[in-house]
Amino acid sequence: MFASLAGVLFDGFAFGMLLFLLSVGLSVTLGMMNFVNLAHCSFAMIGGYATVSLANRYGWPFLATLPAAFVAAGGVAIALERTLFRRLYRASDLDQCLLTIGMVFISIAAYAFFYGTVVQSTPMPSYLKGSVQLFGMSFAAYRLFLIAMGLVVAATLVFALETTRFGAQVRAAVDNQRMARGLGIDVDRAFMITFALGGGLAGLGGALAIEIVGLDHAFALNYLVYVLIVVAVGGLGSIGGSFAAAVVLGVSDMAGKYYFPWLGAFVIYLVMVALLMWRPVGLFGKR
């Protein structure tokens, strides 16, 4: 019983980290910049396909493809921010919705066209395969890696946004554009970099998700709901909130499926509804 509980907690925590990595970028763009980016998972898809291409066609090791996934998705995010998104910062939420859904459709068709519709996978290095024995229990190696990645990303983001000069500029620009401009902060640049960060994080999440959920052209829509759930439950603009929400959702989903499998499909939605009714602004949200 104890062993199974520990196992469930571990698997759930790892799944939570996957949810966190996939959604933290949206927490940045939607939460901080107030931009409704429904194309978030399209950026994840860019990262995922970048990893697939580099690993399968050019033989890069998996770990080396991860920064590339971040850069690819972040680069596309910058290009789109410059040409399309920045014009809509002041538009209504609904227009932002429509634009980004349009981009989701375009990305789905484009990836189906260039990569086909078959499910992609990447070869894993041997140290990320199978399971590792620790304290007399076996833990899946890739899940340990996911947990490590999640912790590193969360720590880095919190550090970068809370303690660095750039983080202060971004927060100032987002909170009050006019005032920030008056103080000589380059708001345009701050927005662009924030957007690139959001896109890049999505790309990284997409690359890391392949091993667990696979990757095909429908990815941009299939995981959108999960990502929105994490951001809403966590609270807008809170990295810590997204982290906590992802862990709670991941663990409860896993525990629900293990102990009450007949409830399996309902758990994650029930938890979300309950949490939002209890705290409509999200776990760590302020507004």
Q: Please, which of residues 204-223 interact with other proteins by CB under 8 A?
A: 211-218, 221-223
Nearer to other proteins, 33 or 193 (CB): 33
- The minimum distance between CB 15 and other proteins, in angstroms, equals 5
Residue 214 CB contacts under 8 Å (≥ 6 apart), including other chains: 119, 120, 121
Residue 258, number of CB atoms within 10 A of its CB: 15
Within 51-90, the residues that bind other proteins by CB under 8 A are 84, 87-88
* CB distance 272 to 232 below 8 Å: yes
Residue 38 CB contacts under 8 Å (≥ 6 apart), including other chains: 97, 100, 101, 104, 224
Nearer to other proteins, 193 or 198 (CB): 198
- The minimum distance between CB 121 and other proteins, in angstroms, equals 5
- The minimum distance between CB 47 and other proteins, in angstroms, equals 17
Nearer to other proteins, 37 or 107 (CB): 107
Q: How far apart are CA 237 and CA 285, in angstroms?
A: 7
Nearer to other proteins, 56 or 185 (CB): 56
Q: How far apart are CA 265 and CA 256, in angstroms?
A: 9
Within 92-131, the residues that bind other proteins by CB under 8 A are 92-95, 97-99, 101-110, 112-113, 116-119, 121, 129-131
Within 4-23, the residues that bind other proteins by CB under 8 A are 4, 7-8, 11-12, 14-15, 18
How far out from the chain centre does Cα 114 lie? 24
**Segment lying near other proteins (by CB under 8 A), choices 91-99, 169-177, 184-192, 237-245:** 91-99
Q: What is the DSSP string of 129-170?
A: SSEEEETTEEEEHHHHHHHHHHHHHHHHHHHHHHHSHHHHHH
Nearer to other proteins, 44 or 180 (CB): 44
Its sign, for the CA torsion 214, 220, 223, 227, is positive
Within 126-155, the residues that bind other proteins by CB under 8 A are 129-131, 138, 140-143
Nearer to other proteins, 35 or 142 (CB): 142
Residue 68 CB contacts under 8 Å (≥ 6 apart), including other chains: 50, 51, 54, 60
Within 145-204, the residues that bind other proteins by CB under 8 A are none
Q: How far apart are CA 151 and CA 19, in angstroms?
A: 13
Amino acid at 222: N
How far out from the chain centre does Cα 133 lie? 29
Nearer to other proteins, 61 or 130 (CB): 130
- The minimum distance between CB 22 and other proteins, in angstroms, equals 10
- The minimum distance between CB 88 and other proteins, in angstroms, equals 7
Closest CA to 232 of 205, 181, 271: 271
Nearer to other proteins, 27 or 169 (CB): 27
Binding-site size for other proteins (CB under 8 A) equals: 81
**Segment lying near other proteins (by CB under 8 A), choices 2-10, 70-78, 170-178, 185-193:** 2-10
Within 226-255, the residues that bind other proteins by CB under 8 A are 226, 228-229, 232-233, 236, 253-255
